[in-house]
Amino acid sequence: MALVEIENVHKRLGGSDILRGISLKVDAGEVVCLLGASGSGKTTLLRCINHLETIDQGEIKVAGELVGYARGADGKLRAERDRLTAAKRARIGMVFQRFNLFAHLTALENVTEAPVQVLGMSPDAARRRALDLLASVGLEKKAELYPHELSGGQQQRVAIARALAMEPRLMLFDEPTSALDPELVGEVLETMRRLADGGMTMIVVTHEMSFAREVADRVVMMADGQVVEAAPPEQLFSAPAHPRTQAFLARILAAN
């Protein structure tokens, strides 16, 4: 069974259709990259998966469960209680474009906060695990520093460790390298690549074509709120079938 099932999802925002009937399945262990021009709806789709955005029509299931909604007796979806949604979100990691590390907490505290507060883990156990995770992203020496004392690449690696501390079964990445200086992109991509190699299920919105080409199992091309093409990277990059994909890749290649 697919870990993530997206069925005919529609979303309107500010009077325009952001998502227009998206369907997509992601299997456990799969790495899917979402590509598309800005405004194609890829970030919105990602944010719908853990219910940071509501959806207007259709449904999204993670591990067989709706997130943010419950099905009523009449078969219609209604908003779920906050506590239940929160518990489901706890198992879905998210990494943001602008890192969003908690500014008043050290790197270590950023990683221990949710395990202690949400999972009820003991501070000692959370601390040990956080130090392991920080070591795994190469930042064990930065544990006591505050976010503004870290480079963008280091902040994003802490953010990845913070998400992993919740032992997620799915990781969502929203343009994780777009806010980074070019020389810092590599260290974050390397961390993500190791995560993918370890078997993590990942959905990644990115403009890093080399990452998509080398790490993704499947690349999904979005345009105007729809999936126009989904294929393994070698196929999509070498022989794009859809004119929108061809135009997008031509623009990207020209820009590089």
Residues of this chain that bind other proteins (CB under 8 A): 50, 52, 82-83, 86-94, 96-98, 100-105, 113-114, 117-119, 146-149, 159, 162-163, 166, 179
Of the pair 35, 164, the CB lying nearest other proteins is at: 164
CA 97 to CA 245: how far, in whole Å? 24
Of the pair 88, 193, the CB lying nearest other proteins is at: 88
| CB neighbour class for 16 (10 Å; exposed up to 12, middle 13-18, buried from 19) | exposed
Q: Which two tokens stand for residue 255?
A: 């820009």
Query: How far is CA 130 from each of CA 92, 100, 211, 224, 248, rounded to the nearest angstrom?
Result: 18, 18, 27, 40, 40
**Least distance to other proteins, CB of residue 213, Å:** 28
Of the pair 146, 237, the CB lying nearest other proteins is at: 146
**Least distance to other proteins, CB of residue 180, Å:** 12
**Least distance to other proteins, CB of residue 103, Å:** 4
Query: How far is CA 71 from each of CA 56, 219, 227, rounded to the nearest angstrom?
Result: 14, 31, 26
Q: Which amino acid, 14?
A: G
**Least distance to other proteins, CB of residue 113, Å:** 7
Of the pair 76, 83, the CB lying nearest other proteins is at: 83
